Amino acid sequence: MMTLRMSHLSPYSRKCRIVAIEAGLGERIQLVPTSPYDPATDLIHENPLCQIPVLKTEDGECYYDSPVICEVLDALHDGPALIPAAGPERWRHRRWEALCDGILDSALLIRTERAMRPKELTWAAWVDGHQDVIARGLDVLNADCAAWGDEFRLGQIAAVSVFGYLDYRAITEWRPGRAALAAWYEAALSRPSVIATLPRE
Ligand SMILES: N[C@@H](CCC(=O)N[C@@H](CS)C(=O)NCC(=O)O)C(=O)O
**45 is a domain residue:** yes
pLDDT at 122: 86
Mean pLDDT by groups of 10 residues along the chain of 201 residues: 98 98 98 96 97 98 98 97 96 98 98 91 93 98 97 98 98 98 98 98 90
**67 is a domain residue:** yes
pLDDT at 90: 98
Q: How far, in Å, CA of 64 to CA of 128, rounded?
A: 30
Task: Measure 110 CA to ligand 1 centroid, in angstroms.
Answer: 14
pLDDT at 7: 98
In this structure, are 92 and 164 located in the same domain?
A: yes
In this structure, are 173 and 115 located in the same domain?
A: yes
pLDDT at 188: 98
Read off the CATH number of the domain in which 64 is found. 3.40.30.10
CB 51 near ligand 1, within 6 Å: yes
pLDDT at 67: 98
CB 71 near ligand 1, within 6 Å: no
Total of domains in the chain? 2
**Secondary structure class of 175 (helix, strand, coil):** coil
In this structure, are 41 and 96 located in the same domain?
A: no
In this structure, are 101 and 52 located in the same domain?
A: no
In this structure, are 22 and 63 located in the same domain?
A: yes
Task: Measure 74 CA to ligand 1 centroid, in angstroms.
Answer: 21
pLDDT at 119: 87
The closest of 156, 148, 147 to 95, measured between CA atoms, is: 156
Q: How far, in Å, CA of 142 to CA of 175, rounded?
A: 10
In this structure, are 130 and 68 located in the same domain?
A: no
In this structure, are 104 and 182 located in the same domain?
A: yes
Read off the CATH number of the domain in which 123 is found. 1.20.1050.10
Q: Give just the sign of the alpha carbon dihedral 191, 66, 153, 187.
A: positive
> Domain range for residue 144?
88-191
Task: Measure 103 CA to ligand 1 centroid, in angstroms.
Answer: 13
